[in-house]
Chain A
Amino acid sequence: MSTRREALLGAAGLLAAPAGADPAADRPGPAGDAPLRALPGKKPLIQRAFRPPNFETPIADLVPRYTPNAAFFVRYHLANIPRVDAGSWRLQVGGPSAQGQLALSLADLKGSFEQVTITAVNQCSGNRRGLFSPRVPGVQWRNGAMGNARWSGVRLRDVLHKVGVAGNALEVVFNGADGPVLAATPDFLKSLPIERALDDTTLIALEMNGEPLPHWNGAPARLVVPGWTGTYWVKHLTEVRIQPTAFDGFWMKSAYRLPTGAFSTARFASQENSETTPITEMLVNSLITSPAPAARLHRGEPARLAGKAWDGGFGIARVEVSVDGRRSWREATLGAYLGRFAWREFEVALDTSRKGPLEIAVRARSRNGSFQPDQLTPNPAGYHDNRVQTLTVEVS
């Protein structure tokens, strides 16, 4: 595996590259308040924080159907991030509710289990926190703490069945190679209910868009929990523990929680209390990718409104668009169905025959019947901003 020194030198590489590579990368970002900078192996992204690295994908890079690996957002809680050596890497699988113990190499995962691919949106729980009003503390993400990719690897279920799951299993706990700077800081461990861990869509992914996982997105293996927010998608996975009790680590008991009952998403019963409950599924949501926020349209020239819509895994039923300040709505054309956990592209032609403002609004509806609301549901951590998306562009 890697040493602490390599971890620090990794950080040095991280420091060196942005300064040398692309001078234009230091111009103010499209978000206006944060610079664009490139981590090694990445293209310039919006730097919300440098250490631990938290880099947001600009909206322009959310236009492609699959978000390129080099543009995919980066989110870490803890700054000790080793470069994991794929050859000596092992995944430890066991725990008090496991019937055995395994140490799996990459070759084991590739050779002994069925290989599967799922297209899924990975969205940070705090995506759009920076758009909350009143403002909420935390990483001030705008729209780009998300992306859509093809994730390939093995089913977590197959690995759990290989080790054997005891009847009393309640949760499965996941640890990754990244850790805290201070020994006193809680390591980033997450758990899933046993049912979600055994769901055949929950993967241990080794590849992203047909390439090995980028370092900054969890190489050599990460958890993929389609439909659930990114907090569960543990990177640099090293340990899987099946246990008969509710995991009581900081990142489950104190972080990533919502007021109980505020949202009608999947429950995580073993982690719930009367006041708060863990965030789980994503809400139905959409993003306008075109026109760009500051675009000007020219009278009589063809123009189109385009974007993405997604939800927690039910699938998008339809996307509706208004260009008159939400007075009238029409249905947008949906792009190819990429799977129920993927985003769905949408587009509609814009009428540019008259000068003046187009007050655009977009609302998506999920197959579960839910739709994007006009108002935020306030919550202290700034999660689940799935408001109707709006954009005013001028035709001149």
Chain B
Amino acid sequence: MLRHRALTTKLAALGLAAAAPAGLAGVGTSDAAAALGAPAAAEIIELRPGPGHDLTVGRCLICHSVEYIPSNAPAMNRAAWQKSIQKMRDKFGAPITDDEAKEILDYLDANYSGRS
């Protein structure tokens, strides 16, 4: 069930990716789905469930897989996550609104702030 949801979320994210960025222009969602067929299990990293999970996964997966989130947790606190999200928006052009940034920050801080 969790796996299924993660896959659905990923494909939704890719649908978004296919619609927006120049990098994937001309590649429809069905192509993306075919390209990311069943073997996609290899990529699935389960993030902790909670408010903001789907938005976080959906936005992050546009550009990168999400191992970075748990692997970086020991280096992160709320301020560090805020800085990271701001970098993704300002430097890397991530399509994240102010409201979304707040929701993503709350999710990451609640689940992946491991710095004492």
Contact = CB atoms under 8 A, between A and B. Distances in A.
Contacts of A34: 67, 71
A49 B24 contact: no
Contacts of A254: 91
A364 B34 CA distance: 51
* Tier of interface size on chain A: 35 or more
Max chain A Cβ within 10 angstroms of own Cβ: one of B21, B25, B94:
B21
Interface string B73-116: 01110001000100000011111000000000000000000010
Interface string B44-74: 0100000000000000001111011001101
B42 A50 contact: yes
A134 B94 CA distance: 28
A16 B42 CA distance: 8
Given A140-B72, A183-B23, A184-B93, A12 B43 contact: no
Nearest to B94: A182
* Tier of interface size on chain B: 35 or more
A185 B75 contact: no
Contacts of B24: 4, 8, 181
B50 to A, nearest CB: 21
Interface in A12-40: 12, 15-16, 18-20, 33-34, 37
A183 B94 CA distance: 10
Interface in A226-273: 250, 254
Contacts of A5: 26-27, 31
A33 B67 CA distance: 11
A147 interface: no
A152 interface: no
Contacts of A184: 21, 92-93
B26 to A, nearest CB: 7
B66 to A, nearest CB: 9
22 contacts: A4-B24, A5-B27, A5-B31, A8-B24, A12-B36, A16-B39, A19-B41, A34-B67, A34-B71, A47-B67, A49-B67, A50-B42, A50-B65, A51-B64, A181-B21, A182-B20, A182-B21, A182-B95, A183-B93, A185-B92, A186-B91, A186-B92
Interface of A: 4-5, 8-9, 11-12, 15-16, 18-20, 33-34, 37, 47-52, 79-80, 130, 134-140, 179-186, 250, 254
Given A49-B68, A180-B23, A182-B23, 20 more contacts: A4-B25, A5-B27, A8-B32, A11-B36, A12-B37, A15-B36, A19-B41, A49-B64, A49-B65, A49-B67, A50-B65, A51-B43, A79-B63, A79-B64, A80-B23, A181-B17, A181-B24, A182-B94, A185-B93, A186-B92
